[in-house]
Amino acid sequence: SQQGEEDPQALSIQEGENATMNCSYKTSINNLQWYRQNSGRGLVHLILIRSNEREKHSGRLRVTLDTSKKSSSLLITASRAADTASYFCATDDRGKLIFGQGTELSVKP
């Protein structure tokens, strides 16, 4: 089962621009995580934000969480061509990670 929606489904930007991806979820959560997947590869954990946190930073990544709206956003600043990948949010549902639909990000040099 999928947890929720992500938008946009696809995003194409120029190098140096910022990329914002949004995620909505349905159930109560303990935390929300963002992952990155390069084409045909496994997933890489990017960042985790707990339900009692509203914002978190890690390098060029900024994640926000609004539990009242059941939504989260991932901002990648100063994007690079190497950021081209699919990005997924995931919620921990009683010990199981459930993923959103994902956003396919393309950063053009």
Partner 1 sequence: GAVVSQHPSRVICKSGTSVKIECRSLDFQATTMFWYRQFPKQSLMLMATSNEGSKATYEQGVEKDKFLINHASLTLSTLTVTSAHPEDSSFYICSASRRDRGNYGYTFGSGTRLTVV
Q: ω before 109 within 30° of 0 (cis)?
A: no
Our finding on whether 33 is near partner 1 (CB under 8 A) is yes
Candidates 56, 41, 27, 18; CA nearest to 88 is 41
- What would the two tokens of residue 23 be? 């995620």
Token duo for residue 101: 């639909």
Beta bridge partners of 56: 63
- Determine if 42 is a binding residue for partner 1 (CB under 8 A): yes
- State the nearest-atom distance from the C-beta of 53 to partner 1, in Å: 13
Per CB under 8 A, the list member of 2, 18, 27, 28 interacting with partner 1 is 2
Q: Give min distance, CB of 91 to partner 1, in A.
A: 10
Nearest distance from residue 96's CB to partner 1, in Å?
6
- Work out the angle at residue 26's Cα, subtended by the Cα atoms of residues 21 and 88, and round it to the nearest 5 degrees: 30
What distance in Å separates the CA atoms of residue 7 and residue 50, rounded to the nearest whole number? 21
- Contact map string, positions 68 to 107, toward partner 1, x by CB under 8 A: --------------------x---x-xxxxxxxxx-x---
Q: Which parts of this chain interact with partner 1 (CB under 8 A)?
A: 1-2, 30-31, 33, 35, 40-45, 48, 88, 92, 94-102, 104
